[in-house]
Amino acid sequence: PVKRQLEGREQTYTAQIPLGRLGQPMDVAKVVLFLASPLSDYLTGLVIDINGGMYMG
């Protein structure tokens, strides 16, 4: 659905993202794997924005 909304505007939108590309399902999967692993055992009440730095740029 997001791809459909961006038709014809994808370059303009990705230019605003510091990483220079749209997020992919694997980007979310990597965060899920991290959160499901023992590496995240001391994290509580955390909000993780998976946005390629969009809110920082």
For residue range 42-55, what is the model confidence (pLDDT) as tens digits?
A: 999 999 999 998 87
Report the pLDDT value the prediction gives residue 35, as an integer from 0 to 100. Answer: 96
SS3 per residue for the chain: CHHHHHCCCHHHHHCCCCCCCCCCHHHHHHHHHHHHCHHHCCCCCCCCCCCCCCCCC
Q: What's the predicted TM-score (pTM) here? A: 0.76
pLDDT at residue 57 is higher than 60: no
Distance CA 7, CA 27 (A): 21
Distance CA 20, CA 55 (A): 13
For residue range 6-56, what is the model confidence (pLDDT) as tens digits?
A: 778 888 888 989 999 989 999 999 999 999 999 999 999 999 999 998 877
- The domain segmentation of the chain, as residue ranges, is 1-57
The fold of 1-57 is: Helicase, Ruva Protein; domain 3 (1.10.8)
Contact 27, 19 (CB under 8 A): no
Report the pLDDT value the prediction gives residue 46, as an integer from 0 to 100. Answer: 92
